[in-house]
Structure 1
Amino acid sequence: MTPQLSVLDQSPVGEGFTHADALRSSVDLAQAAEEWGFVRYWVAEHHGSPGFASTAPEIMAAVLLTRTTRLTVGTGGVLLPLYPPAKVAEVFGVLASLYPGRVDLGLGRAGGPAEDYPDRVRVLRRMLRADEPGLAGAPAVPPRMWLLGGGLTSARLAGELRTGFAFAHFLNPGAAATALSIFRREPGGAGKPVEQGESGGDVDSRSVLAVRVVAAPTEAEAEALAQSVLLWRSRKDLGRDLPLPTPDTARNHRWTTLEAERAAVRGGSLIWGSPEQVHGRLVRIAAEHGVGEIMVNTLTCDPADRFRSYRLLAEQTAAPTPPLSEVPSEASSEAPPEAAASTYLPP
């Protein structure tokens, strides 16, 4: 089964580009993604980062809703510890009233003290429900609420509260299966499966995997872009938050030992290659995790490379899908972390 594809957009800022360039590129990409058949488009929230321009996802979501007609638009996600739940409810109540059925409210627990995060989520959920006294003028069709997580805590809470659950595979791929299992074991986490997966298990319509992907016409081009992402990520892990480097910068960079070690760790969570290779990997990952939707996160220095990556993947997804038995397995198609340095780093 070919999973549906969505977009997680962090509005990446590359060398030689400005934050304004990144934001305008996100608007253009959302419009293109709708035409290419992506079903959902989420904008992230980051603060104080030279590499990401997405500081106000609620504003970006409002703009994208005005520039598209069918696409479901949302946040991936609002950092709830930073805001009073009532304010978030009011903002997304307005969006959902203006664009009923097209608004997702994705919530993250980062950004501040998270001890009361579950209570904040409960309050916000109650305020947005039209059948309960909470928000004056609650929308008739409330936004669909999703909890985001890279571990197990939000998975358990999402299952308990019957929200959707989006797991950040690109941050912690090894915990994805466990987190989704916890989510589905909770009373509200089972959801209604949309269909039977090819592996024989149910495909869960209430969970998605967010996967970091780089596709290019050839494997060599994709590897050059992947090397750029890994240099950026390794620097960020070591406290140097910079714009995304160009492939030439990454190619000519003299990697330190610590950078190489971080790239080796991060290499296993980055899926890159030709459109056929990437599509096959996504089909396999979706089947193994029982999800019917993959949220694709692509970072490149040049917005044109990012557009091309999403377009190639959409075109490949529209093509006939081979039987799952012909798709390379995760073990055979993904370099293990210890091999990532030799794959991505110069001698």
Structure 2
Amino acid sequence: MRTRLSVLDQSPVGEGFSHADALSSSVDLARLAEELGFARFWVAEHHGSPGFAGTAPEILAAVLLARTERITVGTGGVLLPRYTPGKVAEVFGVLASLYPGRVDMGLGRAGGPAEDYPERVLLLRRMLGMGGEGLGLPGVAPAVPPRMWLLGAGLGSAHLAGRLGTDFAFAHFLNPGPATAALTAYRESVVPDGGGPAPGAGVLAVRAVTAESEAEAEALAQSILLWRSRKDLGDDLPLPTPRAARNHRWTALEAERAAVRGRSLVWGTPDQVHARLVRLAEEHGVEEIMVNTLTCDPEDRLRSYRLLAEHAAAVPVEAAAGV
């Protein structure tokens, strides 16, 4: 089976660009993703970050649903500990009522105390009338509920998603080590909840960037790694230009962090990146890869997704499976 590709968009802010530029680029990217045949498009939630503009994914998702026609749009994800389940249910009830069958509700447990996260998830499901747990709250539960996804970078959310019978997405780009164990635990414990589409085998979210030549892809990758190493060391900045990364004098600590982060970053020409993504899908037993691409210049990001999608579409299924 051909590996499906989707988009995880963090609305990255590059040097010389504003947060408004980044949000506008997210709209452009969603429309391009639909044109290119990506399966779904998710937007993330970050706060107080010079490098990310997406602070309100549910609002951005509403805009993207209005600006597209077919692609599934969702959140990757709403940080549930920050909000009351009632408010989240109302927001997604409206979205799912306006765009039935096109809304993914991805939930994360970061953003605050998470001891009661499982209880919050259960309450949210009941309010939306999901999982066969009643008809939901009047005026909140839509006729076609959103598809619920739990997001994680460890085993906790994988086990919870399995117990609840929801879908699960693993953040390989944050913490690749436990990916196999988490996805296996999810698949071994998952039971369809009866309140929506049967959950799949899970999704792997991978950070990747491509360009027409290896040299160009290397330059874009070094920009990402410089940004990420700085962030790890407490210096949260916009993404640097490839030129700035090339001229940067790396400290020993930055180089160490870049080496670590480089293990979870895929870069190269479109054929190289696609081949690696297909291998990752096979290694982790998933049929869908959610691609997360960060660049300083929004045009480089649009080009990267276009090149990847065009190459994937041109590869015969038999060739992709034999990578």
Q: Distance in 2 between matches of 1:107 and 1:124?
A: 11
CA RMSD of aligned residues (A): 1.7
Deviations 1:235-276 (A, max 9, x none): 000000000000000000010111011001100000000000
- What are the equivalent positions in structure 2 for 1:1-347 lying under 5 Å apart? 1-129=1-129, 132-137=134-139, 138-188=141-191, 205-321=200-316, 323=319, 326-327=322-323
- Please state whether the residue corresponding to 1:86 is helix, strand or coil: helix
Shift of 1:320: 2.4
Deviations 1:97-155 (A, max 9, x none): 00000000000000000000010001001111166143222101000000000000000
Q: Distance in 1 between matches of 2:319 and 2:65?
A: 36
Q: Distance in 1 between matches of 2:156 and 2:127?
A: 23
More displaced 10-residue stretch of structure 1: 34-43 or 284-293: 284-293
Tell me, yes or no, if the aligned pair for 2:6 and 2:289 is still in contact at 8 Å: yes
Matched residue type, 2:257: R
User: For structure 2, which runs of at least 5 residues remain unmatched after alignment?
Assistant: none
- Please state whether the residue corresponding to 1:33 is helix, strand or coil: helix
More displaced 10-residue stretch of structure 1: 122-131 or 20-29: 122-131
Count the aligned residue pairs. Answer: 316
* TM-score normalised by L of structure 2: 0.95
**Structure 1 pair 190/173, CA: closer, same or farther in 2 (3 Å)?**
farther
User: For structure 1, which runs of at least 5 residues remain unmatched after alignment?
Assistant: 195-203, 328-347
- Please state whether the residue corresponding to 1:110 is helix, strand or coil: coil
More displaced 10-residue stretch of structure 1: 109-118 or 134-143: 134-143
Tell me, yes or no, if the aligned pair for 1:163 and 1:206 is still in contact at 8 Å: no
Shift of 1:56: 0.2
Where does structure 1 differ by over 4 angstroms across 4 or more consecutive aligned residues? none
Q: Distance in 1 between matches of 2:322 and 2:188?
A: 31
Deviations 1:34-72 (A, max 9, x none): 000001000000000000000000000000000000000
Q: Distance in 2 between matches of 1:135 and 1:65?
A: 24
Q: Distance in 2 between matches of 1:86 and 1:99?
A: 20
Matched residue type, 1:146: W
Matched residue type, 1:76: G
**Structure 1 pair 5/325, CA: closer, same or farther in 2 (3 Å)?**
closer
**Structure 1 pair 53/253, CA: closer, same or farther in 2 (3 Å)?**
same
Q: Distance in 2 between matches of 1:307 and 1:224?
A: 16
**Structure 1 pair 14/319, CA: closer, same or farther in 2 (3 Å)?**
same
- Please state whether the residue corresponding to 2:121 is helix, strand or coil: helix
Shift of 1:187: 4.2
